[in-house]
Structure formats: structure tokens, C-alpha cells
Amino acid sequence: MNNNDSINKVIKVENLTKKFGSFVAVDNISFEVGKGEIFGFLGANGAGKTTAMRMLCGLSKASSGKAKVAGFDIYKQTEEIKKRIGYMSQKFSLYEDLTVYENIRLYGGIYGIKEKDIKPRAYDLLENLNFLDKKDALVKSLPLGWKQKLAFSVAVFHKPKLVFLDEPTGGVDPKTRRQFWEQIYEAASRGITIFVTTHYMDEAEYCDRLSIMVDGKIEALDSPQNLKKQFNVNSMEDVFHTLASKAKRGD
């Protein structure tokens, strides 16, 4: 565990399992994510990807197995983990009745950014997004695409080591999705590790590495090129269908 390799691993998961009663939502999964990587977590609805992610964020308690996030144990050191991660859930989670700036200020504040730093950093961020004129608009008045961009910016506002994105682009058009991914690349280039769940196959192509979950198990894990080669198909779509057709769980 002391070699360079394991220090560079932001997430290390071994045999992680989550049971709800007799239902095994996440079944004995193991994987690692390196620093600065864009790691895609694919699976059909109900495959267990959100549950797995919630365990890593400290929102859900694991039933068994080991996992470390940013070097901290997910059983005992959840609060340490929380300081170092960003999170964007599939339910849109900015406050609709607060303004754009108020949302940034709130999350900046609770992640411990100093009062005097919040304002300049927030203005920088809004400037980069070309959003400055909307800073006093209530979030509920924004179109969905903008809300998502803003939610992502808020999730990385406190400069986390790692950001978890749970189906971040649900419900928006492909053009907005591409813009959103530019944002992700930009964050990754600053050294932020990205852990993203999705069921859009075009998005899967953008990831450095992918894992595909079926019925709570990881059925495949590699880069998009290698996966296509391994399954001898031309697109991720086909890789996914080959694997997903084995699924027994419905939606």
C-alpha cells in the first residue's frame, strides 16, 4: 500500500457490497480510479450504480467490503472524505428559491471557503461561464441546461480532489450535453478526478476508463477502445447491449 501507485489511486474499492434486506443492490465490486482520471460508471436503471456511488460519498453505509476514497476509509472517515469531494446528484440539487450567487455562497461557505474569498471566486466562476449578468436571478428561472452547468460549477467550487456526478446530464439535448462535457474536461485538466455515472453511450466514449454494471456486478472494466476490441464491436452501444441483455433485473 505504500508504493506510488496506491497513492495515486483516488478510489480503491475491494469487494464492496450493499444489501437491502435480501436484495443485493451492489454485489462484491472491486475497482480503482487513478488521479485525474475520468471514470465512467455505466449500467441500466437499477443496476446498482447510484447505490455504489452513494456508498463512496458517505451517503449510504456499505454492508461489507473495503473502500478508500481520497485515502480515507468509507466506514470510519466519512467526514474527512466529504471535505475532499464534490457531488452532483441526479435530482437537481441547487435551491430553486435562492439566486445563482446565493447558491454559490451557501456551498462555498459550508465547505469552509473564507468569507472574503467567496465573492471574488464566485465572480470569476460566473465570468468564465458567461453568467455574471444572471447572478441575481432565482435558480428556478433558469433553463435546465444552465442549471446543470451551474450545479457542476458549485460541486467543484471548493476545489475538491474528486467529484462524483450521478447522471448529470439527464433530460438535456445533445448540444448542451457536449458543452457540459467540455466543463468536465476542463475540471479534469486541473487535476480533479471525475467519477460519473451515465446511461448515455455517447458520453461513455468521453471517459478514460469505463466500468459496466449489470445486476449489481461489474461485468467489464477498461478503456472504451479496449472494450470495443474485447467484444469485437464498433460502438459502445453494442458493448453495452451485449452485456445488458444478460440482466435479470427490470427497471
Partner 1 sequence: MKIKYLLEKEFKQFFRNAFIPKMVIIYPLLVMLVIPLITNLDIKNLDICIVDKDNSSSSRKLIQKIDASNYFVLDKVVHKYSEALEEIENGNIDAILEIESDFEKHMTNGTNANIQISANAVDGLKGGLGSSYLASIINEFSGDSLASVSIQHKYNPLLDYKRFMIPALIVILLILLCGLLPALNIVNEKEVGTIEQLNVSPISKLQLILAKLIPYWIMGLVILSICIIIVWLVYSFVPAGSLFTIYLVSILFILIMSGFGILISNISSSMQQALFVVFFFMMIFMLISGLFTPFNSMPQWARIFSSCLPPRYFIEIMRDVYLKGSGIIDLYPKFLILTGFVILINFWAILTYRKQE
* Residues binding partner 1 (CB under 8 A): 54, 57-61, 78-79, 82-83, 85, 87, 89, 91-98, 102, 105-112
Q: How far is the CB of 119 from partner 1 (least distance, A)?
A: 13
Nearer to partner 1, 90 or 183 (CB): 90
Nearer to partner 1, 76 or 248 (CB): 76
Nearer to partner 1, 93 or 183 (CB): 93
- Cα–chain-centroid distance for residue 246? 25
Q: How far is the CB of 229 from partner 1 (least distance, A)?
A: 37
Q: How far is the CB of 99 from partner 1 (least distance, A)?
A: 9
Q: How far is the CB of 80 from partner 1 (least distance, A)?
A: 8
Burial class (CB in 10 A: 0-12, 13-18, 19+), 150: buried
Nearer to partner 1, 106 or 132 (CB): 106
Nearer to partner 1, 75 or 185 (CB): 75
Q: How far is the CB of 205 from partner 1 (least distance, A)?
A: 28
Contact 210, 197 (CB under 8 A): no
Nearer to partner 1, 61 or 229 (CB): 61
Q: How far is the CB of 48 from partner 1 (least distance, A)?
A: 15
Rounded Cα distance between 116 and 119, Å, is: 7
Task: Tally Cβ neighbours within 10 Å of residue 196.
Answer: 25
